[in-house]
Structure 1
């Protein structure tokens, strides 16, 4: 993965004013951000180049000072004031590269968005890979979990906090955490997010999700009645893409509005199809609907003894074939034992590795 959020630089606040500091720290706390704080420009010098955002109080930029020449002009600098800024503030702010002068509390919302954007790694939006079953029982959920686990364990592709996120897009699917054997692991589920409103912090979500071995999971609590609205799903997806390096999503075949929102943002959508006549017939409708949302659709054929040739299935659906996945009773037993996609010698695990090896170079571009 190209970026590790575990070691991401923190926003820098430079002010000797308790009033400014309290105001900015309150906004940071709301977004679960831990900033660096310096009382003057001289002590901020070591952190100046690497900070994703610098917030300067007008008390430190009221006029030219001896330390200004040693601070390089840079982007992502804002100045906060309590009243309309004086001319001297503008002069020094421009010399340091400040793009905005914000009046607090009037511009609290603007500063909160800047802080959250930079803390989440703005500009590093994770690619989304979506998996959809062409028919019931095709194995899309299992393959999605296998690909996510493979990506999280790839050499150089994970960190201790989980750069890869597996998203369960089907509230009626039984829960991907159960498939992984992680249903008892503490952390947020979709149902906990149902009552949220507005912009969400990807950093805060990242810290709150269940995770193990480099893989975070956003699943459903079984039996819960609270279901997030389409707007909440969109806000959550936007936030987690800022705070992870890869998002793998398992979507329902009926593609409701929330699932369509995920499919529309997917770099690649993978349809998993059984190699029988009914499976291919059912997949035809799924592919037709998915085509309205996803511009890049690939195919994985689940093979059974005596089934249709994978090439014929691909030709019938007019989709490029990624790989095949054999029927495997050992995988079902592995799920019952709580090891699921990590079971050795499982065809699902092998298919997950194959899919990831083919998609990883494209997603890294």
Structure 2
């Protein structure tokens, strides 16, 4: 067998084995996890990669050689064996500092998760900011897109993962489409329909790479035409994957809080309710606010102001939530969107409000 290695980047897993059977098993799981391993048939080739690998997987065939090589102790080492490994394997695995011995194929799912964690990290998940309109036409989608794009340009958002730093999720299948608002509706990439049936562990890195981009913003939107809402387990898997590899997730939610939407609300760090400053809008928003109260304790208000409207402070008092920002009707914003320039193309009221939202909610979002 010819051993091979990819680049010596710090996040690749390392597989040490001379067994074709072990190699085939792990490569299959790597493909499922969306990761590319460095593979070495002997310890000599593995020595340089050993300290920098995200995860080290040692085949039981190479275990004695690894033990005799006296490599430096490190975390995230696993040994793979048959379903009924030799009892001696456990002792040698302990000697090389392995965290566990996995029996394949019984422990395939455990190894798949470990491989993904080795690349994407198992640290703190990214915060989620959910934006909801209190009534139709409130401008929640515009604000969500502007907040997400502003965050990508913010120096306090560090790109830890080598890809998009912010993920914008269109969770409203009956909305106008965030990809249209951002001018990327014709850009190739995954949409919600491509993720139908997804459940369990999803590679965050593979997901992020496959989405349409606006600069450093990854966008998950809907196809045009007939829409079937995503299943709760799909939303759960996608959100978990996105949170592992981005620094912030911004979700544009519909007003009807169904089960898929509740999957996002249950994980939201902060929620922003966007409400126009008229009596009917405030009345409609009170029902939405009541529904949000059952899922989120940290709900802030953005008031969309028009001439002779209710004072923003009165709207906040009526709904019983803190005022985060105000946003004015702005023809420059509508013109920029219609021209496909995006929500930050001009210095508009929406752009200013997005900055205020991030400034006010920054501590809660870990910024």
Q: 2:299 aligns with which of 276, 289, 297?
A: 297
In structure 2, relative to structure 1, the CA distance for the partners of 1:233 and 1:82 (3 Å cut) is same
Q: How does 1:113-152 map to 2 (within 5 A)?
A: 113-152=113-152
Contact 1:134 1:283 in 2 (8 A): yes
- The residue that corresponds to 1:106 in the other structure is 106
Equivalent residues of 2:33, 2:113 under 8 A apart: no
Q: Tell me the TM-score normalised to structure 1 length.
A: 0.92
Post-superposition shift, 1:334? 1.1
Corresponding residue for residue 221 of structure 1: 223
Aligned-pair CA distance for 1:156: 5.5
Give the superposition deviation at 1:225: 3.7
Kindly provide the CA deviation profile for residues 165-210 of structure 1, in whole angstroms up to 9, marking residues without a partner as x: 0000100002100001111111000111113343322222112111
Partner residue, 2:200: 198
Q: CA offsets, 1:228-258, max 9 Å, x none?
A: 2122111211121112111100000111111
**Mean Cα displacement is larger for which, 209-218 or 352-361?**
352-361
Match of 1:361, SS state, is coil
2:6 corresponding residue in structure 1? none
RMSD between aligned residues: 1.9
Q: Does 1:23 align with 2:12?
A: no
C-alpha distance in structure 1 between counterparts of 2:68 and 2:104, whole Å: 27
Q: 1:273, 1:302 within 8 Å by CA — same for their partners in 2?
A: yes
- In the alignment, is the contact (CA less than 8 A) between 2:150 and 2:354 conserved in 1? yes
Q: 2-side partners of 1:203 and 1:99: how far apart?
A: 25
Give matches, 1:19-58, under 5 Å: 19-58=21-60
Question: How far has the Cα of 1:63 moved from its partner?
Answer: 6.3
Cα shift readout 1:108-139 (whole Å, capped 9, x = no counterpart)? 22211221233232223111000001111111
Structure 1 residue ranges without an equivalent (≥5): 1-6
Partner of 1:3: none
Q: CA deviation at 1:84?
A: 2.7
Decide whether the 8 Å contact of 1:130 with 1:268 is kept in 2: yes
SS in 2 for 1:19: helix
> In the alignment, which residue of structure 1 is the partner of 2:72?
71
Other structure's SS at 2:300 match: strand
Asked if structure 2 preserves the Cα contact closer than 8 Å seen for 1:152 and 1:214, the reply is yes
How many Å separate the matches in 2 of 1:168 and 1:35? 33
2:343 counterpart SS class:
helix
